[in-house]
Amino acid sequence: MNAIKNVTLVICLFFLVGCLNYSSSKNIKRFNIDNIKYDKQTYPVVIIGGGIGGLTSSIYLSQANIKHILIEGQNPGGAITSAHAVCNWPGEKNISGSDLMAKIKEHALNSSANISNAKVTNVDFSTWPYLIKIIDNDGEKTISAISCIIATGAIPNMLNIPGEEKYFGRGVSKCATCDGSFYKNKTVAIVGGGNTAISDALYLSEISQKIYLIVRKDFLRAAGKMTELVKSYPNIEILYNTNVKEVIGDDEKVTGLKIYNSKENKESEILVDAMFLAIGATPNSKLFSNQVEMDNFGYLTVKNGQKTSKSGIFAVGDICEAEYKQLIIASGQGAKAAMQAQKFLGKIGYKSENLKEKSLQTKKTENQQVKVEQPKIEKQPEPVLEKNEASSQTVTVIDIKSAAQFEKEVLDYKGNVVADFYAHWCPPCKMMAPIVDELANEFGQTIKFVKSDVSKISELGANFGIRGVPTFIFFKDGKEIFRFSGAREKEVFKELIENQF
């Protein structure tokens, strides 16, 4: 009797394995490369995100001779570009995040990577090839992806406490590298206990007079050597078991923080000139809601390497890594995803030659079509623009080199001006630069756009109370009428301008 049961069990197992293999085979068969209508907007692989994971995928795909496009979005290089020092990347004892990413991007470009600074606005993974809507300098369009690698990273968290939003850019910052120089010989606070918080504290210890490191737990989560180092600095005071309850200010700038010690059950206030946030990040996954599976915290679910719940779609880096948010891990995942994408393409019959042949056949067919001779049209004279009509000529943003030039171009100007106060090392400033250029062209002669590097013209920063970059101030007839700090999407920035002028 037992022998019969065992045989029956083995037969059932063979049947189950057979069904799974049939299902897997059927799933792959539904992706038929021969049914794809190939054109220049169809890519074997589309990479969404220009951080280290996406760039590593691009390098591997380039070296495998697989056509692809990397959409780097509004934050080229990813969050690491804000780090003033990276000490755990193999081969680099100490390098800034922006310099490291510049090297890796150059490597990708030298490998013939196709990198676009477009922005993805929508994805549709319910059909195949997958559809991805983007906006670039030529406007909005849709590209097709046979396979896709998602590498959109995460966005820094806020505390969501009273005063935080009000004083953002006026003492509250998410980037110590960007804004630390404004607090020379001042007292500042850093909130967080991980690697980023420790790195920020060490950086600011060379600039600020006093640093409070506010940690909600009774220990630091950072690597051992960094923990011991930060404890040794005389101008860094660590406040354990402490939470920030409120940001206090004088309506112009931050003056202090209301804090709570959970161990002592005690509330108090400390005087500070700035608060820097280093409290982790939230996965940038809203774009993929209802498209692929994700957990309750918004991280994309991956298994068997970097595979998501949709065949041919992979995820790498902070978008799927909840625990180990490290450069080396994101890079390794990028390499793995590229190889898995290559394997997927091979299973459905893709070869680099296939699409080339299809492209040539399409061109040949187009060339064989009967050409209809168009009637000759006499060239009409160009219309003369009235003075109030927008000019088609490129409008450049005026680069201010001195306080005297700023006074002439802005304070003495009778009209509307948008002034960009930035620092050349600041990643969000670099992200906003092309947006400012685009808006200057769109508004033409109706609004003047200027930019000032306040790290070089400190007098301007002091005169206008700049405590964080980028900061944008709107002027009308030489008078300030509005300001905001931090990066904004182009559409939001444009709406702010239209509402003020």
Residues 6+ apart with CB under 8 A from 430: 76, 81
Q: What's the confidence (pLDDT) of residue 393?
A: 63
- CA dist., res. 460 & res. 480, Å (int): 14
pLDDT at res. 382: 43
pLDDT-based confidence at 22, cuts 50/70/90?
Answer: very low
Residues 149 and 288 in one domain: yes
Q: Whole domain around residue 317: which residue ranges?
A: 37-155+282-348
| Domain annotation covers residue 4 | no
Q: Where among 307, 329, 348 does a domain terminate?
A: 348
Do 289 and 265 sit in the same domain of this protein? no
Given a cut of 70, is residue 172 above it in pLDDT?
yes
What is the tally of structural domains in the chain?
3
User: Measured between alpha carbons, how far is 90 from 23 in angstroms, rounded to an integer?
Assistant: 42
- Confidence class of residue 236 from pLDDT cuts 50, 70 and 90? very high
The residues annotated as belonging to the active site are 175, 178-179
**Strand extents, DSSP E, 281-336:** 281-283, 313-315
Together in a domain, 142 and 241: no
Strands, DSSP E only, in 20-153?
Answer: 42-48, 68-71, 115-116, 119-124, 130-136, 139-150
The two tokens of residue 51 are: 């951080």
Angle at the Cα of 19 from the Cα atoms of 15 and 21, rounded to 5 degrees: 115
| Residue that is last in its domain, among 240, 263, 279 | 279
Q: Is residue 134 within 8 Å of residue 74, measured between CB atoms? A: no
The band of 30, judged by pLDDT with boundaries at 50, 70 and 90, is: low
Q: Within its chain, how far is the Cα of 235 from the centroid?
A: 33
Burial 267-297 (b: 16+ CB within 10 A, else e): eeebebbbbbbbbebebbbeebeebbebeee
Give the pLDDT of residue 84. 73
pLDDT tens, position by position, 256-314: 999 999 999 999 999 999 999 999 899 999 999 999 999 999 999 999 999 999 999 99
- Same structural domain, 43 and 151: yes
The CATH number of whichever domain residue 415 belongs to comes to 3.40.30.10
Pair type for strands 266-271 and 236-239: unpaired
Cis peptide before 375 (omega within 30 of 0): no
- 202 with 54, same domain: the answer is no
Q: Are residues 405 and 490 in the same domain?
A: yes
Inside any domain, residue 69: yes
The answer to the question of residue 358 being in a domain is: no
Whole-number Å distance between alpha carbons of 178 and 156: 14
Predicted local confidence at residue 5, as pLDDT: 54
How much is the pLDDT for 184?
A: 93
Nearest-angstrom CA–CA distance, 316 and 333 = 5
Percent of the chain topping pLDDT 90: 66
What pLDDT, in 10s, does the model give residues 92-149?
A: 988 888 899 999 999 999 999 999 989 999 999 999 999 999 998 788 999 999 999 9
CB atoms within 10 A of CB 216: 16
Quick one: average pLDDT of 350-360? 58
Distance between CA 103 and CA 94 in Å, rounded?
Answer: 14
| In-domain check, residue 27 | no
> Average of pLDDT values for 337-361?
77
Which of residues 443 and 223 earns the better pLDDT score?
443
Query: Is 23's pLDDT higher than 70?
Result: no
Q: At 318, is the pLDDT very low, low, confident or very high (cuts 50, 70, 90)?
A: very high
Q: Say whether both 338 and 238 belong to one domain.
A: no
Burial class (CB within 10 angstroms; exposed 0-12, middle 13-18, buried 19+) of 145:
buried
Q: How far apart are CA 122 and CA 403, in angstroms?
A: 43
CB 36 within 8 A of CB 129: yes
In a domain, 102, yes or no: yes
In this structure, the answer to whether residues 92 and 115 fall within a common structural domain is yes
Q: What is the pLDDT of residues 45-95, one digit of tens each?
A: 999 999 999 999 999 999 999 999 999 988 889 888 877 778 889 999 888
CA nearest neighbour of 312 among 22, 21, 32: 32
Answer left, alpha or beta for residue 327, where phi above 0 means left and psi between -120 and 50 means alpha. alpha
* Distance, CA of 219 to CA of 216 (rounded, Å): 9
Give the burial class of 51: count Cβ atoms within 10 A of its Cβ; 0-12 exposed, 13-18 middle, 19 or more buried: buried
Q: How many residues does the chain have?
A: 501
Residues 383-432 pLDDT 10s = 443 334 444 567 889 999 999 999 999 999 999 999 999 998 787 888 89
Position 166 in a domain: no
Given 279, 302, 325, which residue is the final one in a domain? 279
Judged against a pLDDT cut of 60, whether residue 187 lies above it is answered with yes
CB atoms within 10 A of CB 445: 13
Q: Residues 80, 136: one domain?
A: yes
In a shared domain, residues 176 and 273: yes
Residue at 392 is within a domain: no
> Do 261 and 286 reside in the same domain of the chain?
no
Report cis status (omega within 30 of 0) of the bond before 283.
Answer: no
- Which residues have CB under 8 Å from 228's CB, separation 6+? none
Is residue 6 situated within a structural domain?
no
In 320-459, at which residue ranges do the beta strands (DSSP E only) sit?
Answer: 398-400, 416-422, 448-453
CATH value at residue 333: 3.50.50.60
Q: What is the DSSP string of 363-393?
A: HHHHHHSPPPPPPP-PPPPPPPPPTTSPP-S
48 with 146, same domain? yes
Q: How far apart are CA 68 and CA 250, in angstroms?
A: 52
| Residue that is written with structure tokens 């040539």 in the block | 360
For residues 6-21, average pLDDT = 48
Residue 54, token pair as written in the block: 């996406």
Q: What is the mean pLDDT of residues 352-379?
A: 46
Going by C-alpha positions, the residue among 113, 98, 52, 119 that lies closest to residue 318 is: 52
- Number of Cβ within 10 Å of residue 481's Cβ equals 13
450-463 mean pLDDT: 93
